[in-house]
Amino acid sequence: MKTRLESQNFLTLDGARGVGAMLVVLGHSAMFWPGFPTLPLVPLVDIFFILSGFVLAFAYEPRFDRGMSARQFLLARVVRLYPLYILGILMGTIVHLYAYYGDSPDTSLSDLLLNSAPAFFMVPWMDPNSEYIYAANVPAWTLFFELVINLVYILIYPYIRRTSGLLVVLAISIAMFLAMAFHYDTTDLGSRWTEFWGGFGRVSCTFFAGVLIYRLMGKPKETSSRRSLISIPLILLLVLYGFDVPEPLFLIRSIILVTLVGPILLWLYLIVQPPRWLSSTFATLGGMSYALYILHYPVYETVKRIAWKYPVIIETPALGSFIVLAVSMAISFVAWQWYDEPVRAKVNKWLKERRKRSAATNMTKAAEGATVSRSR
Q: What is the pLDDT of residues 14-67, one digit of tens each?
A: 888 998 899 899 888 877 776 665 556 667 889 899 999 999 999 999 999 999
Q: What is the mean pLDDT of residues 60-81?
A: 95
Q: What is the pLDDT of residues 273-302, one digit of tens each?
A: 777 888 889 899 999 999 999 999 999 988
Q: What is the mean pLDDT of residues 222-239?
A: 52
- Considering the entire predicted model, what is its pTM? 0.89
Position 2 scores a pLDDT of 44
Mean pLDDT (the chain) is 83
User: Cβ distance 290 to 261 under 8 Å?
Assistant: no
CB atoms within 10 A of CB 153: 25
Helix axes 41-65, 141-160, angle to 10 degrees: 40
Percentages of the chain per state (helix, strand, coil), in multiples of 5: 80, 0, 20
Q: What is the pLDDT of residues 144-178, one digit of tens each?
A: 999 999 999 999 999 999 999 999 999 999 999 99
Least confident of 2-11, 24-33, 250-259, 359-368: 2-11
Least confident of 74-78, 89-93, 108-112: 108-112
Task: Compute the CA torsion angle 301, 304, 308, 312 (nearest 10 deg).
Answer: 160
Position 106 scores a pLDDT of 47
Give me the helices (H) in 118-191, please. 141-160, 163-184
Residue 132, SS3 per DSSP? strand
Q: What is the pLDDT of residues 212-222, one digit of tens each?
A: 999 998 665 55
Which among 335, 298, 223, 333 has a CA at the least distance from the CA of 268? 223
CA separation for the pair 346, 354 (Å, rounded): 12
- pLDDT reading at 74 higher than 50: yes
Amino acid at 162: R
